[in-house]
Amino acid sequence: MYKIIKKEKLNDTVDLLEIKAPFVARKCEPGQFIMLRVDEDGERIPLTIADYDRDQGTVTIIYQIVGYSTTLLSQKKEGDCVQDFAGPMGSPAELTKKEHKVIGVAGGVGAAPLYPQLKKLAAQGTKVDVIIGGKSAAYVLLADAFAQFCDQVFIATDDGSLGTKGFVTNVLADQIAKETYDECIAIGPLIMMKNVVKITKPAGLPTMVSLNPIMVDGTGMCGGCRVTIDGETKFACVDGPDFDGFKVNFDECMKRQGFYREEEHQCRIGRG
């Protein structure tokens, strides 16, 4: 059992949990994730590692309440425990000091996995900027935390309630026209990452993205998380979740994601 040390509600659909998991905290790196079960009868769900404290033996996860398991998890309080917290899983992000600058682009809860990556780059001596997007001000995550190490924090909201009104891609296009960047790291919805690549690829700006297809076991056994990278089949849970955005078949990823959502919808109708 893994104890919840801290719980914070970031908005009406997103929670932050800090969990005592010393063995995971000891080994995990930015870009990796854990597989969690809320209770002994629960399903395994993958959640990105948003932060970690090796000294305290804690791991921070940030998740959106979208289904049965995350709803169950959201009902837990500080001092409660979760059944399983297995990891770290996946390949760590390849983060090395850059000559100029790195720009990060986060859409919604994509801010959670992006945070530790930019934080590590900054610790290595790389200058970093970030663009954070959300539906409205309430859905812009971790802006103050990013500000602790980012040179510039740009915000874009759909309704204009905070920062620039519009998409993160609009801000990105303006920014890469003004400054020299060595790399872009984009994490968020598939359509957002696809549109980021549409901007960065013609500009010749290397871009890493993080893919989040359906995962069952997190070890490459089920095959549910297969994606096509540069024409080859890869498994996001072991080969990723970070990939070269120029090589990702986003259309296939979105089609597969839509297929699973339709299946889930039909199952819900059947249980209705």
- CATH (domain of 139): 3.40.50.80
**Final residue in a domain of this structure, among 64, 89, 114:** 89
The one-letter amino acid code at 180 reads T
Total structural domains in the chain? 3
Rounded to an integer, what distance in angstroms lies between the CA atom of residue 195 and that of residue 198? 5
Per residue of the chain (272 residues), give pLDDT as tens: 899 999 999 999 999 999 999 999 999 999 999 999 998 888 888 999 999 999 999 999 999 998 888 999 999 999 999 999 998 999 999 999 999 999 999 999 999 999 999 999 999 999 999 999 999 999 999 999 999 999 999 999 999 999 999 999 999 999 999 999 999 999 999 999 999 999 999 999 999 999 987 777 777 777 778 888 999 899 888 888 999 999 999 998 888 877 655 444 333 333 33
**What does pLDDT average to over the chain?**
90
Query: What's the pLDDT tens digit per position in 236-268?
Result: 888 889 999 999 999 988 888 776 554 443 333
Is 81 in the same domain as 124?
Answer: no
Is 111 in the same domain as 122?
Answer: yes
Is 205 in the same domain as 113?
Answer: yes
Structural domain containing residue 219: 211-272
Quick one: the chain helix, strand, coil %, rounded to 5?
A: 35, 30, 35
Is 196 in the same domain as 231?
Answer: no
Is 104 in the same domain as 171?
Answer: yes
Is 172 in the same domain as 98?
Answer: yes
Is 204 in the same domain as 216?
Answer: no
229 phi/psi in degrees, rounded to 5:
-120, 115
**Final residue in a domain of this structure, among 168, 188, 210:** 210
Rounded to an integer, what distance in angstroms lies between the CA atom of residue 236 and that of residue 37? 20
Is 75 in the same domain as 101?
Answer: no
Question: H or E segment at 164?
Answer: strand 164-165
**Final residue in a domain of this structure, among 58, 89, 120:** 89
Is 49 in the same domain as 146?
Answer: no
Give the residue from 231, 245, 254 showing the smallest Cα distance to 198.
245
Is the Cβ–Cβ distance between 169 and 195 less than 8 Å? yes
Is 272 in the same domain as 251?
Answer: yes
Is 115 in the same domain as 221?
Answer: no
Is 102 in the same domain as 205?
Answer: yes
User: In which region does residue 79 sit, left (phi positive, over 0), alpha (psi from -120 to 50) or beta (all else)?
Assistant: left
